[in-house]
Chains A and B, each alone.
Chain A
């Protein structure tokens, strides 16, 4: 099995990579630190799994060479599973890339990273509800301090491909329940 760490630039993919594989790729606080992919190995349930730190990309429509590397990496690994790392304080555009990858049929797990930064900005995310709508594991994390990493690893095996139609109908259902709940 192969796992790709994907997400926007500067969301913490390399921090996850170092934590999960014990490797030592450069982590910095600016977008574009990682411009090439790095491979490493991690253990899930006693099995060796290959993990790839992919350069950050905003979408699957590359606009520079680092993004080209990212998109090519995804398309060369049709059977791979993707950990989609999202900056929790910028969740909407993170979901855009996640949905694009879901639509291409890849099994996905979402790491809602930088939960602490989002909370500082007064942004609260209902991860359980997000998980029900997307029908894939969603784990809140703070990668630098290690929070949520274990849970993320333990839930990787629950990742599965989802049909985006199901997500649309789940979202509609959730909205209906929410609306019903508003009635006094």
Chain B
């Protein structure tokens, strides 16, 4: 037999009267902290402090301590010179792809001095994956796991709700957004918690375009530390501008959200350890092959002259519309596989600071990486096609706009 909702609640009422005793409500310290972090007056400053702490720990642990403090010294001081010595066939195509593409100085072949410039699979590839990306995603996932297990995420969602409503989403969209800052793949999966197709589409499109992943941010911190603030600012502004526009043109509803804010809990070290291990190993199963493969493919394409050709063909758009050098064609090809790799490549090209900002923003927004693309396909090919259409427009319009801003500021 089936009951109506009303009959069911009536029965539950009778059962709970017999079995549940509600004592007096005690206001605990946890409750008090819970309220302080969710009321706007105290909650917003606390949220800013939390996010700022998150950001500065990320930079100081991953960038300063691990990468600069250890891995750069190790890879540039020992690993690269050693491989340059022992790897046979200096200057031939296999050496170029595996170890060092080097450069030509006054007509002579010279070896690279750093693992950023060599672009070999075993040098730059390993250095980027292990020396830069590993510390970045380790610290990111450690801090994310702590915030998740304490129960802070739903509170952040409540605080940012009003802002996200303007772009057709609601506070809970902060969860896929933050997950995407680690990796876009789980971020796309998490859009399932949004209620309507419209919200899911807007969210997925914005994630794929404007949210750089942890690996990418880690590399930016390393190679363009002075410009990363501007790059992130352009991405955040784009997220809101195009979210606002999408909200106006995508049909469908954007309902209010109801959320259970769970009580704060003490995070368990065991669970945090398990989560970091699972996420970091999962990331590396996906990332490491693509970084290495990316090095191989870009190396081959350079040797075949494809990238030089592509740079020539695309030069009018690159130079005229976006205001960046034609050499950025190479990194844009690499970005299909991994954007972190592409950012590292950009850093080795001669250009002005503003061109660097523009080109890193372009690499971030111009196409989702292979893994994200596959995940979006899994969530529905129609939405994926629409998202790509939006993406093409965004790259063209926003890229041009950034160039225009540069021209107006007199820096481009």
Contacts and interface: CB of A to CB of B under 8 A. Distances in A.
Contacts of B271: 27, 144
Contact of A124 (B23, B151, B172): B23
A27 B150 CA distance: 11
A180 to B, nearest CB: 13
B21 interface: yes
Given A122-B24, A123-B21, A165-B1, A29 B12 contact: no
A27 B13 CA distance: 31
Contacts of A163: 1
A32 interface: yes
Interface in B256-295: 259-260, 262-265, 268, 271, 274-275, 278
A32 B172 contact: yes
A122 B11 contact: no
A98 to B, nearest CB: 9
A133 B263 CA distance: 30
Contact of B16 (A9, A29, A91): A91
B319 to A, nearest CB: 44
A55 B275 CA distance: 18
Given A95-B12, A96-B12, A171-B11, A35 B190 contact: yes
Most buried by B among A31, A91, A168: A31
A30 B154 contact: yes
Contact of B149 (A29, A36, A55): A29
A69 B19 CA distance: 32
A138 to B, nearest CB: 9
A69 B264 CA distance: 28
B26 interface: yes
Contacts of B25: 121-122
A64 B25 CA distance: 33
A82 B385 CA distance: 39
Contacts of B275: 26-28
B192 A164 contact: no
Contacts of B150: 29
Given A10-B260, A100-B8, A122-B25, A65 B192 contact: yes
Interface in A64-101: 64-66, 69, 91-92, 95-96, 99-100
B15 A35 contact: no
Most buried by A among B17, B271, B275: B271
Q: How big is chain A's contact interface, by range?
A: 35 or more
Contacts of A45: none
A5 B335 CA distance: 41
Q: How big is chain B's contact interface, by range?
A: 35 or more
A18 to B, nearest CB: 8
B148 A178 contact: no
Contacts of A130: 15, 19
B175 A125 contact: no
B304 interface: no
B260 A29 contact: no
A182 interface: no
A92 to B, nearest CB: 5
Contacts of A69: 192
Interface in B1-18: 1-3, 8-9, 11-18
B19 A129 contact: yes
B403 interface: no
Contact of A28 (B1, B9, B26, B149): B149
A147 to B, nearest CB: 14
Given A29-B262, A32-B172, A178 B195 contact: no
B32 interface: no
Contacts of A127: 19
B262 A125 contact: no
B22 interface: yes
B18 A133 contact: yes
Nearest to B17: A175
B22 A122 contact: yes
Interface in B67-91: none
B356 interface: no
B18 A178 contact: yes
Interface of A: 8-10, 24, 26-33, 35-36, 55, 63-66, 69, 91-92, 95-96, 99-100, 103-104, 117, 120-127, 129-130, 133-134, 144, 163-165, 167-168, 171-172, 174-175, 178
Given A31-B259, A168-B11, 10 more contacts: A30-B175, A31-B154, A35-B190, A64-B195, A91-B20, A92-B20, A99-B3, A100-B8, A122-B25, A144-B271
17 contacts: A24-B278, A27-B271, A27-B275, A28-B149, A31-B193, A65-B193, A65-B200, A66-B193, A91-B20, A96-B9, A99-B3, A99-B8, A122-B22, A123-B21, A125-B20, A126-B18, A126-B20
